[in-house]
Chain A
Amino acid sequence: MADASLILALPKGRLLDEALPILARAGITPDAAIASDDSRQLRFKTNHAHIDVIRVRSFDVATFVAFGAAQMGICGLDDLMEFDYPDIYAPLDLGVGKCRLAIAARTDQAAPFDLARLSHIRIATKYPNVTGRWFAERGVQAECIKLNGAMELAPVLNLSPYIVDLVSTGATLKANGLKEVATIAEISARLIVNRTALKVRAAELNGWIDRCRTALAG
């Protein structure tokens, strides 16, 4: 089984830059072109003949791994929570891409954020599933408006009084006249594995998980 091909899905963007050194210490070095934004390539060779890396949008890493199109991947906990695919295991916290998923409102908003008094709330977010679940657990029905970016505009332009978005320093919120009112989850990147692949190729994939764990400790 050692020679069967292994596909590793990596997210585009900042998380990629933080993940590559960890992979290198674990012994997987993709072609240098992967770090270049100019490259139109989607699939890259690595220093192992049977391991290839694909570079996709962070949301799509979870999908490729869930369906077994890629056996392993690196993905933010935010995306994992949003899709909640049953067939993904996330055995390793890579400790990079740290931020939090938070609820924010306008700084000048008069009404306090009081969950006990709310029956319904309107929220603009890229994470409708996580948001809906979080509020439902607290007895509030969330009406989510799906946006793919520039969430901060929603409260300012009265699209919705609240947003749920990733916050790292809070500088973007502040610059747009918003404040954080609650935290939904602390986020960091996970090494993820497809369930079936982990069963059928147990020794091989557990070996890579162990090497990544050692790379983090060292």
Chain B
Amino acid sequence: MSDSSAKTLLPEGLRDVLPPDAAFEGQMIDQLSRSFAQNGYDLVRTPLVEFEDTLLSGVGAAMGGRIFRMLDPVSHRTLGVRTDITTQIARLAGTRLAAAPRPLRLTYAGPVLRVRGSQLEPERQFTQAGIELIGAEGAAADAEVIAVTSEALAVLGGSGIVVDLALPTLVNAIVGRVDNGLRAALDHKDVAQIRSRGGAHGDLLAAVTAASGPIDAAVSRMASLALPDGARRAWATVVALRDALRESAPGLQLTVDTVESRGFEYHSGITFSLFAAGSQREIGRGGRYLLPSGEPATGATLIIEPLLVALPKAERSRRIYVAAATERAQVRQLQAAGWITIAGLAVSSDQRADARRLGCDHVYEQGKIVPLEKKL
């Protein structure tokens, strides 16, 4: 390995984001934060690193395998890098903001880190932006979180947004304990294996699995199945959420996944995953969980990296080359009119060539905006 390649190599799953992508990312996060704030979600900021035992207590208990750890030279305690901001918000809501009026609406955005990426999603650092609605139960709260999130995506130009509802507790309500073999079969929707590993419940589980899909078809398929009482009551919450969303967000595309539970480690009720037509990956997820105090909460988290692929890129402002020694007042006037100004620092012999080299399609000469002819 040469010296220079050793200096450019980053650890697996980490990367630099260059122009113009970094700007798109920044604009996207700003716009999402604005949309969330307009709906009454107040911005909070939590630290990147916390004491390990705080990070892994309460809602964060399931995250132990995913966090980077280090020793704090000051306190001699183990620190952990956050791998999910939702768990930090849950901590805030239960401690510093315990006395804040309910329902508590909070929003956040920032990077998180995890020990290992997957083959499909190799990033170890990625950016989350989301909302949490704390202290509210029922379909109306779930519907608000889903509607606010999908509206924020629509503002960004997202199309073909699909909300895939899930109820990780449903399978347990049918069979009680689920062993690893059955869990794997359910995760892959392998109906043949579900039937053979599901024991006495095999046929029912296979039918429940096959009911996944567009929500109305799923609701009618599930209605024809003989579910145990506990499962039927749990399923009724999904039907109630569908009804609430039909009223508040009638255009929203809803599907349901009756047996999904992966990645919903701390969730206690309805969960959901978000997809967009342009992305081959999930763009966000969320759902209902309980604070350690027993207080109900729900939320949604968008993941910025797949969103950048799925959503149309915002139009960049036009760039104009401003000759050296132009008065700042004129420069500010151009900026007020929406231009991005690139200042020439020295008087140039070929100003237009300089302008082109720096990605400008106009130059500002002698008080006039002059378009550069396109080079063929």
Contacts and interface: CB of A to CB of B under 8 A. Distances in A.
Interface residues of B, number: 28
Interface in B151-181: 160, 162, 164, 180
Contacts of A196: 275, 279-282
Given A85-B120, A196-B279, A90 B189 contact: yes
B189 A87 contact: no
A77 B190 CA distance: 10
Given A67-B120, A85-B120, A86-B118, A199 B273 contact: yes
A42 to B, nearest CB: 20
Contact of A202 (B119, B162, B210, B280): B162
B140 interface: no
Contacts of B188: 80, 88-90
B151 to A, nearest CB: 19
A66 interface: yes
B277 interface: yes
A91 B192 CA distance: 8
A200 interface: yes
Interface string B273-299: 101110111100000000000000000
Nearest to A68: B280
A199 B162 contact: yes
A50 B109 CA distance: 40
A190 interface: yes
Contact of B162 (A91, A92, A137, A200): A200
A190 B279 CA distance: 25
A65 B97 CA distance: 45
Interface in A183-218: 188, 190, 194, 196, 199-200, 202-203, 206
B316 interface: no
B187 interface: yes
A200 B275 contact: yes
A20 B281 CA distance: 30
B120 A86 contact: yes
A57 B279 CA distance: 26
Contacts of B164: 199
Given A67-B280, A68-B280, A196-B280, A206 B213 contact: yes
Contacts of A66: 119-120
Nearest to B195: A93
Which of B119, B162, B262, B280 lies at the interface centre, i.e. has the most chain A CB atoms within 10 A of its CB?
Answer: B280
B190 A91 contact: yes
Given A80-B188, A89-B189, A91-B190, A200 B160 contact: yes
Contacts of B209: 91
Contacts of A77: 190
Nearest to A190: B190
Contacts of B282: 196
B255 interface: yes
B190 A200 contact: no
A200 B262 CA distance: 19
B273 A91 contact: no
Contacts of A202: 162, 213-214, 255
Which of A87, A92, A190, A202 lies at the interface centre, i.e. has the most chain B CB atoms within 10 A of its CB?
Answer: A202
B190 A90 contact: yes
Nearest to B218: A202
B89 interface: no
Which of B160, B180, B188 lies at the interface centre, i.e. has the most chain A CB atoms within 10 A of its CB?
Answer: B188
21 contacts: A1-B160, A66-B119, A67-B280, A80-B188, A86-B120, A87-B120, A90-B189, A90-B190, A91-B191, A92-B191, A93-B190, A93-B191, A93-B192, A137-B180, A196-B280, A199-B162, A199-B255, A199-B273, A199-B275, A200-B275, A206-B213
Interface string B93-119: 000000000000000000000000011
Contacts of A90: 188-190
A86 B262 contact: yes
Given A67-B120, A196-B279, 12 more contacts: A68-B281, A90-B188, A91-B209, A137-B180, A190-B192, A196-B282, A199-B164, A199-B255, A200-B162, A202-B214, A202-B255, A203-B214
Nearest to B209: A91
The 9 closest A-B pairs by CB, nearest first: A68-B280, A93-B192, A89-B189, A90-B190, A199-B275, A206-B213, A199-B164, A202-B255, A90-B188
